[in-house]
Amino acid sequence: MKILIKKATIIDPNSSHHMQTKDLLVEHGVITKIHNSISDTNDCQVFESDQLHVSQGWIDLNARFGEPGYEYKEDLTSGMRSAAQGGFTHVTLMPSTKPCIQKKSDINFLIQESAHNIVNLHPIGALTENRDGKQITEMYDMHQSGAIAFSDDKRSIANASLMKIAMLYTKNFDGLIMSFSSEEKTALKGQINEGITSTKLGLNGIPSLAEELQLARDIQLCEYTNAKIHFSTITTSESVKLIREAKSKGLNISADTSSYHLILDDSELESFNSNLKVNPPLRSLKDIKALKMALKDGTIDAICSDHYPQNIENKKCEFDIASFGMINLETSFAAANTALKDILSKEELISKFTSKPKAILGLKNEAIEEGCLADLTLFNPEFKWKYEQKNIVSKSKNSGLIGKKLIGKALAIINNGQISFCN
């Protein structure tokens, strides 16, 4: 396969061609030539587009595909198709399946089933057996089989002693724990963010304190063990302060937030749209401002999709019994780009999808240079479009962004010697 990319602005600080507009020739999965103009188009598939930009392939730190057990919501095939549609060449998969991903055979299954696909899957193993917070899993065995990290997904570890042991254990083999910060008893029976909107609508609130209590504890454990930890989907201004302070102490921590938490605030819930019922909940405008500033100054390292498919029965029901979660792989970049357009430069934004998550996961940073593997995302950061249900590739349609006008769109991905075009 030969692909000629015409007049693309390269966004890659690791490349000698950073911020330059070049032609790129990809042959059999390798970038063979980068030049001002490449005219040899024999046997080449030519790709050109207005406002064309190219970066290293995007990485998502937080997604769920449902297989095994919840294939009716999303299976591996539809999930990888959805990821490709959103411009992602790498996706980390949370272990919240049935049965959950907690043995080396589970890790092997996911890796084998996704082999030779254009999208690389990186399984996350469960931190505790059955994600019940009682007994740690055989993390080392899963690590040896290819587990990229360990998490109980949307379940926090209530037992501080168990979390301490897990940190010390993973430290021995340089493993990574991904922690979801929500103190369960404080958040119990909550539906949306505790604040003006929850009071107005008469819905039980999830206070910011639930996130901050758990976060503060895990930061203390990180300091005690000198282990590393990643905090998933941070959403409050106080959480930002806690992480900023912890990083100033030199603690080995990182954090991400979802792109939809940057563009949607809790006032949107006045519509009672159950697709907006997410965990952690949509927060206040004050929190959103803090998240944006934290991305600007590096307190928050990366942006994730928090892709959480739900079937129609779990969403088309009374709000208080509807399931949490929304799909976002196909809109993750667009939502972030729209929200951060006047705050982050193109280079800064793309780093939240490329070099920063790579550093968190310990993945190789493959620069856009001649002789390097072609792991690329092609995109237009200025493209204006309206997200509509008919365009959704995912099996599930539970997006709170349907009908929203967005800026920025992935156009194609190139990886593993293949190319996939976005609708």
Please check whether residues 47 and 66 belong to one and the same domain: no
Mean pLDDT estimate for the chain: 97
Structure tokens at 206: 């999830």
**119-137: average pLDDT:** 97
Q: What is the pLDDT of residues 347-378, one digit of tens each?
A: 999 999 999 999 999 999 899 999 999 999 99
Please check whether residues 24 and 76 belong to one and the same domain: no
Instruction: Tell me what pLDDT residue 42 has.
Output: 81
Residue 66: which residues within 8 A CB-CB, separation 6 or more? Answer: 72, 73, 74, 75, 79, 97, 309
Please check whether residues 174 and 144 belong to one and the same domain: yes
Please check whether residues 329 and 198 belong to one and the same domain: yes
Is residue 100 a contact partner of residue 126, using CB atoms and an 8 Å limit?
A: yes
Please check whether residues 121 and 178 belong to one and the same domain: yes
Please check whether residues 173 and 98 belong to one and the same domain: yes
Distance CA 100, CA 85 (A): 26
Final residue of a structural domain among 342, 361, 380: 361
Please check whether residues 156 and 288 belong to one and the same domain: yes
Final residue of a structural domain among 343, 361, 379: 361
**259-279: average pLDDT:** 97
Instruction: Tell me what pLDDT residue 40 has.
Output: 74
For β-strands 2-11 and 21-27, DSSP reports them as antiparallel
Please check whether residues 148 and 242 belong to one and the same domain: yes
Q: What is the pLDDT of residues 173-216, one digit of tens each?
A: 999 999 999 999 999 999 999 999 999 999 999 999 999 999 99
We report the CATH number of the domain holding residue 384 as: 2.30.40.10
Residue 192's nearest CA partner among 121, 278, 257, 113 is: 278
Please check whether residues 200 and 214 belong to one and the same domain: yes
Please check whether residues 315 and 288 belong to one and the same domain: yes
Instruction: Tell me what pLDDT residue 310 has.
Output: 98
* Active site residue ranges: 306
Instruction: Tell me what pLDDT residue 236 has.
Output: 98
Final residue of a structural domain among 339, 361, 383: 361
Is residue 86 a contact partner of residue 330, using CB atoms and an 8 Å limit?
A: yes
We report the CATH number of the domain holding residue 62 as: 3.20.20.140
Its domain, for residue 245, covers 57-361
Q: How many independent structural domains does the chain possess?
A: 2
Please check whether residues 150 and 253 belong to one and the same domain: yes
Q: What is the pLDDT of residues 394-418, one digit of tens each?
A: 999 999 999 999 999 999 999 999 9
CB-neighbour burial class of residue 323 (10 A; exposed 0-12, middle 13-18, buried 19+): middle
**What percentage of residues in the chain have a pLDDT greater than 70?**
100
Distance CA 114, CA 107 (A): 11
First to last CA, the chain: 21
The Cα angle at residue 349 between residues 343 and 353, in degrees rounded to 5: 150
3-class SS at 386? strand
Distances (CA, A) of 389 to 60, 323, 327, 408: 22, 19, 12, 18
